[in-house]
Amino acid sequence: MLSPLLIPILGISCGLVAIIGGVFIRPLFKLWERRMEIEAGLAAEKAAQYAAQTERLEQRVQVLERIITDRGMGLADEIEKLRDAPLN
């Protein structure tokens, strides 16, 4: 059997748990959420920097490929002319 004194004690205890949860637990969860938002923003910024760096490197490789393919034949001819030139 339940003691008549137990009912008010349980009611007050539930109220205290709700107050403590609202005062301490909710701000803690908001702090964690804010921290995760900041970390996500930093990760996105770093990913954008990596993407920009990758784009720059790809452009440089394209320039090098163009130099090699466009000037490949002319460069070979120039090298041959230098080999055939008499030494002074």
Both tokens of 19, joined, read 């107050």
Give the model's pLDDT for residue 5.
Answer: 85
Q: What is the pLDDT of residues 8-59, one digit of tens each?
A: 888 889 888 888 888 888 889 999 999 999 999 999 999 999 999 999 999 8
Which band of pLDDT confidence, cut at 50, 70 and 90, is reported for residue 88? low
What is d(CA 63, CA 71) in angstroms, rounded to the nearest whole number?
A: 12
pLDDT category, 73, cuts 50, 70, 90? low
What is the mean predicted confidence (pLDDT) over 66-88? Answer: 70
76, HSE (Cβ side, Cα atoms, 13 Å): 5
DSSP-derived letter for residue 4 is T
Q: How far is CA 54 from the centre of its chain?
A: 14
Q: Would you state the structure tokens that stand for residue 12, as one six-digit string?
A: 């007050």
